[in-house]
Structure 1
Amino acid sequence: MKFSSKEDVEAPIAQVFDMLADFGSYERQALRRGIEVHRTDTRAEPGVGVSWHALFDLRGKRREVDVVVSAFDRPDSIHFTSDSQGLQGLVTLELVALSPRRTRLAIEVDLKPKTLSARLLVQSLKLAKKNLTKRFKLRVADYAKGLEDRYRQQNG
């Protein structure tokens, strides 16, 4: 099951990539949402191999997910792979420079069930796909706006 969205960001591609590669900000966002996140690698710099283990409650059940940066191609893309109780995911962040001060951000999430219970979960998501796609696109738009705001704050 795939979700995808594209948004334009009023910032240069290098700065957008650096903000996307600020993995500490993802950790802080997750903690604010009540997700327990633990870094499981020892890398000092962002890149392939950076990884996390996260615990959270979803639909009344405790869930665990392991996330790894599987591709890191400055300044074009970052890929995250995840594994969570029979559900594998791939999140792709791709950047395209539209002009020196404008960047297109494309985000794609692909979920693949590997167990029967994961298949049932994905099937229930498919029933709500239209609503979930709408919410996903709104979140991506909000995230892109946040990137623009961060860029403006950092560069006046």
Structure 2
Amino acid sequence: MQFSAQEDITAPIDTVFDMVADFERFERMAMRRGVDVRRVDGPVPPAAGTTWETVLKIRGKPRQITVEMTDCRRPSILRFHSASKGMNGATVVELLALSQRRTRLSIDMSLAAKSLPARLLLQSLKLGQSRFRRQFQTRLSDFARELEERYMHGA
């Protein structure tokens, strides 16, 4: 299953990259939402090879997911590979400078099942795919507006 979304942000590409690569902020946000997150290893600041172990509830069951940053090319690309007991995922975050003060943020995600229970989970996601895609785009739009606000107010 694959899905993607993109948003244009009124901020320079280097600034957007810094905010998107603020992993400590994302770790804190995830913890506030009940996700157990810990950085296992990797360089500081995070770069290719950095790994996180997470535990989150999906459909009421705790799922362990390992996320590894596989590529980090400033200021244009971040790639991640995720793996759980029955599923693998890939995420690509790409930034494109549209002008000196405008950046396009694109996110592509794909999920692949390795087991029958994971296939069933993916199948249920596919049934609600249009709603899921809308939510994904809405969250990315909200995130883009937040980045713009942080840029405008120098946060």
Indicate the TM-score class for this superposition, using the shorter chain for normalisation.
over 0.9
Q: Tell me how far 1:70 sits from its aligned partner.
A: 0.6
Q: Counterpart of 2:53?
A: 53
Q: 1:78 to 1:55 in 2, by over 3 A?
A: same
Q: Tell me how far 1:56 sits from its aligned partner.
A: 1.5
Unaligned runs of 5+ residues in structure 2 are none
Q: 1:7 to 1:85 in 2, by over 3 A?
A: same
Superposed CA offset, 1:119-150 (max 9, x none): 11111111111111111110110111111112
Q: Tell me how far 1:89 sits from its aligned partner.
A: 0.6
Q: Tell me how far 1:31 sits from its aligned partner.
A: 0.6
Q: Counterpart of 1:69?
A: 69
Q: Tell me how far 1:24 sits from its aligned partner.
A: 0.4
Rounded Cα–Cα distance in structure 2 between residues aligned with 1:4 and 1:61:
26
Q: Tell me how far 1:44 sits from its aligned partner.
A: 1.4
1:16 correspondence with 2:27 = no
Q: Tell me how far 1:5 sits from its aligned partner.
A: 0.6
Q: Tell me how far 1:42 sits from its aligned partner.
A: 4.3
Q: Counterpart of 1:41?
A: 41
Q: Counterpart of 2:118?
A: 118
Q: Percent identity?
A: 45
Rounded Cα–Cα distance in structure 1 between residues aligned with 2:47 and 2:84:
22
What is the identity, as a one-letter code, of the residue corresponding to 2:60? G
Runs of 4+ in 1 over 4 A off after TM superposition: none
CA contact 2:9–2:144 (8 Å) conserved in 1: yes
What is the identity, as a one-letter code, of the residue corresponding to 2:39? R
CA contact 2:42–2:49 (8 Å) conserved in 1: no
Give the RMSD, CA atoms, in angstroms: 1.0
What is the identity, as a one-letter code, of the residue corresponding to 1:20? V
Rounded Cα–Cα distance in structure 1 between residues aligned with 2:62 and 2:85:
11
TM-score, normalization by structure 1: 0.96
Rounded Cα–Cα distance in structure 2 between residues aligned with 1:89 and 1:78:
14
115-124 or 146-155, larger mean C-alpha shift: 146-155
1:147 correspondence with 2:147 = yes
Superposed CA offset, 1:45-82 (max 9, x none): 22101111011222111111000101101111101110
Rounded Cα–Cα distance in structure 1 between residues aligned with 2:152 and 2:24:
20
Rounded Cα–Cα distance in structure 1 between residues aligned with 2:42 and 2:82:
18
Unaligned runs of 5+ residues in structure 1 are none
Question: Across the two proteins, how many residue pairs are aligned to each other?
Answer: 155
Q: Tell me how far 1:87 sits from its aligned partner.
A: 0.8
